Amino acid sequence: MAIKFFIEKEFAGGLGRAGILETLHGIINTPAFVTVGTKATVKALTPEQVKETGAQVVLANTYHLYLEPGAERIRSFGGLHKFMNWSGPIMTDSGGFQVFSLGAAYGKQVSKIARAQTNSHVLTRQNPMDSDVDENLFGTLAKVTDDGVSFRSHLDGSLHYIMPEKSIEIQHDLGADIIFAFDECTSPRETSRYQEEALERTHRWAKRSLDYHNSHVLQNNGIKTQALFGIVQGGREESLRKRSAEFISSLNFDGFGIGGSFIKEDMETVVKWVNKILPAEKPRHLLGIGEPEDLFMGVENGVDLFDCVAPTRNGRGGTLYTSRGKINIRNAEFREDVGPIDADCSCPVCDQGVNLPGRHPYTRAYLCHLYRAHEMLGGTLGSMHNLYFIINLVKRMRESILNGNFPEFKKEFLKVYHS
């Protein structure tokens, strides 16, 4: 088996649980936040610094690595683990979300998460590719057919075609511990008719992804080194989400991803619909979600894994998480502030061995200076802090499940966070 999943403790009468996910490259204690390393790197951080944040697992992006440096080249170097010098578990997505961002979302500022009160089809963009890349790098239009997707590279305009089988082949070459079936993510504002059409296509692609993956395992003498997760889609439509959860559950996937798109206000309802159907004995990953409120929601409703670029993207931009909410460290109010980013944080940036002679935390004033002076170190320190904050917040949720006090922890944390 490529992975083994054990549930240690469940909520009484609820969906939430704490578990252990074993991979060939190490154990993931769940629920867990998955650090995004889009191009085989967590931007601004070394693998050693990523480990210092408490990260257990990293997720890389199939689309970007396919284009540069190429999956076959990475395979020739021994796979992603050796190539990026990360010895722990690695996940790779399928490239399906890039289909959305290069196609339906291209040039429209459409995000996979929208607000219910937004009447226009033009929505606030979280990131055009939902990956840790600069916004001006996203590529040209993609065309979706029943067989696959044609698109032009955002690097040089070259034409490419990816089918489910190709997506899985690329991920086999990359060598991640957990890979995802090829899917089509739709805009939360698409019509019900198109949502259903895309869902049926995603289901066909899921079956093709699984068949190709299984044939690869057979060619490898039945030795399974990579786990394949199927992805549940269906937008915000209850009937489609439940249909998708039932269909994907019927296939022999090793675990499941819950894909976009969502209306922010009804994300919790969608997750409940899906996780009440997905088999409890297999792990569940909520794709592209990482804000504290959403993490609590997901954990409470049976999600085991999350990934999101927000901590590092915000860190590079100067938006930093604290136990009392986010701050913009560039603001003038912090120019004379000699305190740490967050007095309650024990990350390498806020702690710095405060009990050791000659050591003290990096101050808000120093961080403010770095960002205002456009120094690269600012992004590094901010990213380290934000990653530690989010990763360890989910670890504390796990501990609260094991201790039987998750509701109290959630209530107290969010009360202070929003104070």
Residues labelled as active-site residues: 93, 307
Instruction: Determine if residue 185 is labeled as part of a ligand binding site.
Output: no
Distance in angstroms (rounded) separating the CA atoms of residues 296 and 267: 12
Residue 29, beta-bridge partner list: 20
Instruction: Determine if residue 260 is labeled as part of a ligand binding site.
Output: yes
Distance in angstroms (rounded) separating the CA atoms of residues 307 and 399: 19
Cβ-in-10-Å burial (0-12, 13-18, 19+) of 333 comes to: exposed
Instruction: Determine if residue 94 is labeled as part of a ligand binding site.
Output: yes
Where helices occur in 192-304 by DSSP H, the ranges are 192-219, 238-250, 267-275, 292-300
> What's CA 222's distance to the chain center, in Å?
30
Instruction: Determine if residue 350 is labeled as part of a ligand binding site.
Output: yes
One-letter amino acid for residue 162 of the chain: I
Of 293, 301, 323, 297, the residue nearest 386 (C-alpha): 323
Instruction: Determine if residue 211 is labeled as part of a ligand binding site.
Output: no
Count of CB atoms situated within 10 Å of the CB of 366 = 17
Count of CB atoms situated within 10 Å of the CB of 64 = 22
Cβ-in-10-Å burial (0-12, 13-18, 19+) of 252 comes to: exposed
Return all residues near 122 (Cβ < 8 A) that are at least 6 apart: 108, 109, 110
> What's CA 294's distance to the chain center, in Å?
12
Distance in angstroms (rounded) separating the CA atoms of residues 323 and 415: 10
Distance in angstroms (rounded) separating the CA atoms of residues 182 and 248: 12
Instruction: Determine if residue 95 is labeled as part of a ligand binding site.
Output: yes
Sheet holding 17-23, edge to edge: 3-10, 17-23, 26-30
Return all residues near 263 (Cβ < 8 A) that are at least 6 apart: 113, 114, 115, 116, 188, 236
Distance in angstroms (rounded) separating the CA atoms of residues 90 and 309: 15
Enumerate the known binding-site residues for substrate: 93-97, 183, 233, 260
Enumerate the known binding-site residues: 93-97, 183, 233, 260, 345, 347, 350, 385
